[in-house]
């Protein structure tokens, strides 16, 4: 087990290093002189030189990279070209709102998706199953930004029950988390159903029935437990995708989180912030993948012995 974790950890570090090279190369891939681009057309030569130093664009490339990694590890991500504040402070202020939103969305969509998936699996082929699966495939195809607008239209503009944006109290969480989680709930429901149906055909489930285990016991103890193994992996991966989804949903609801900061930064060409955000998002994503893999190995010994 330890060997497996170490091996996966080494792989993760390698991926993260490569990601850092990508992010590092990002500003250097820009057409033209990035320092001039950031400084603006009216900037003097001194301004451009200052920006160049700010962006870490001086000296040989390998030395720039070493310096970049060193600074990143110390939490120094440069200054925002827009606000002149340290990037780490900008991102720090936006981190918690996004995390909370993602967690709330993840929580309800997982529980709901699992419940619907199991219901569909148990009632396979009946109207409950068919309705749920039509809703699920629609949920996967539904543009989240449109769902957000429809919810705002109904609950904020027409009924006036919930705010249209911001993150003031629990009420402002309702619409964004529904919008963000809907797609995940649909994916979880579909996946749980197929995992459940597959397991329900296994010999041990038939054996359980044959030896007289009550139907409820068959479903909860024998079928669901085994069906959950692949579902857990999938949910972990969906968590990563929720981070991506938050970029769009935060824009719809003016949520003061990382996603909206990223969109604003791209429009403003605030490269230090964009770089830091991309690094942060992908690090989170890679770490989640690592945790999922390890959890999977814990529940499924076959993987460990690969």
Binding site for another protein (CB under 8 A): 11, 14-16, 18-19, 22, 26, 29-30, 137-138, 140-146, 149-150, 152-153, 157-158, 191, 234, 240-241, 243-245, 247-248, 251-252, 262-263, 266-267, 269, 271, 274, 278, 281-282, 285-286, 289
Residue 306 CB, nearest approach to another protein (Å): 15
Q: What whole-number distance in Å separates Cα of residue 150 and Cα of residue 182?
A: 13
Residue 46 CB, nearest approach to another protein (Å): 27
Q: What whole-number distance in Å separates Cα of residue 174 and Cα of residue 238?
A: 20
The terminus-to-terminus CA distance of the chain in angstroms comes to 11
Closer CB to another protein, 58 or 153, in the complex: 153
* Phi-psi label, residue 195: left if phi above 0, alpha if psi -120 to 50, beta otherwise: alpha
Residue 150 CB, nearest approach to another protein (Å): 7
Closer CB to another protein, 84 or 158, in the complex: 158
Residue 235 CB, nearest approach to another protein (Å): 13
Residue 144 CB, nearest approach to another protein (Å): 8
Q: To 5 degrees, how large is the angle CA 94–CA 101–CA 80?
A: 15
Among all chains, which residue has been given the structure tokens 């309800």?
A: 108
Residue 218 CB, nearest approach to another protein (Å): 25
Residue 148 CB, nearest approach to another protein (Å): 10
CB neighbour list of residue 140: distance below 8 Å, 6 or more residues apart: 183, 186, 187, 190
Q: What whole-number distance in Å separates Cα of residue 271 and Cα of residue 26?
A: 9
Closer CB to another protein, 55 or 218, in the complex: 55
Closer CB to another protein, 137 or 291, in the complex: 137
Closer CB to another protein, 142 or 296, in the complex: 142
Q: What whole-number distance in Å separates Cα of residue 103 and Cα of residue 169?
A: 16
CB neighbour list of residue 196: distance below 8 Å, 6 or more residues apart: 117, 118, 120, 121, 122, 223, 224, 227
Closer CB to another protein, 121 or 245, in the complex: 245
Closer CB to another protein, 39 or 247, in the complex: 247
C-alpha closest to that of 113 among 134, 140, 136: 136
Cβ(170)–Cβ(147) below 8 Å:
no
Closer CB to another protein, 26 or 108, in the complex: 26
Residue 44 CB, nearest approach to another protein (Å): 25
Cβ(169)–Cβ(91) below 8 Å:
no
């Amino acid at each position: 087990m330890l060997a497996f974790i170490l091996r996966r950890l080494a792989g993760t570090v390698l991926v993260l290093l490569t990601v850092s090279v990508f992010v590092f190369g990002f500003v250097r891939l820009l057409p033209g002189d990035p320092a001039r681009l950031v400084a603006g057309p009216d900037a003097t030569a001194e301004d451009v030189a200052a920006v160049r130093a700010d962006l870490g664009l001086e000296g040989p490339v390998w030395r720039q990279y070493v310096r970049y990694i060193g600074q990143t590890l110390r939490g120094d991500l440069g200054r925002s070209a827009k606000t002149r504040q340290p990037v780490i402070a900008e991102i720090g202020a936006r981190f918690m709102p996004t995390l909370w939103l993602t967690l709330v969305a993840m929580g309800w969509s997982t529980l709901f998706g699992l419940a619907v998936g199991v219901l569909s699996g148990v009632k396979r082929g009946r109207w409950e199953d068919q309705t749920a699966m039509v809703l699920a495939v629609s949920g996967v195809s539904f543009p989240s930004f449109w769902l957000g607008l429809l919810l705002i239209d109904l609950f904020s503009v027409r009924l006036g029950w919930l705010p249209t944006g911001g993150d003031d109290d629990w009420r402002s969480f309702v619409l964004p988390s529904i919008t963000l989680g809907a797609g995940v709930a649909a994916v979880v429901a579909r996946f749980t159903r197929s995992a459940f149906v597959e397991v329900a055909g296994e010999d041990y489930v038939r054996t359980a029935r044959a030896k007289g285990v009550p139907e409820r016991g068959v479903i909860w103890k024998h079928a669901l437990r085994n069906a959950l193994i692949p579902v857990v992996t999938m949910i972990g991966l969906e968590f990563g995708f929720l981070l991506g989804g938050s970029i769009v949903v935060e824009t719809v609801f003016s949520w003061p989180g990382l996603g909206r900061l990223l969109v604003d930064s791209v429009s403003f060409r605030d490269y230090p912030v964009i770089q830091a955000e991309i690094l942060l998002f992908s690090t989170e994503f890679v770490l989640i993948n690592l945790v999922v893999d390890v959890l999977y190995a814990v529940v499924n010994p076959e993987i460990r012995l690969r």
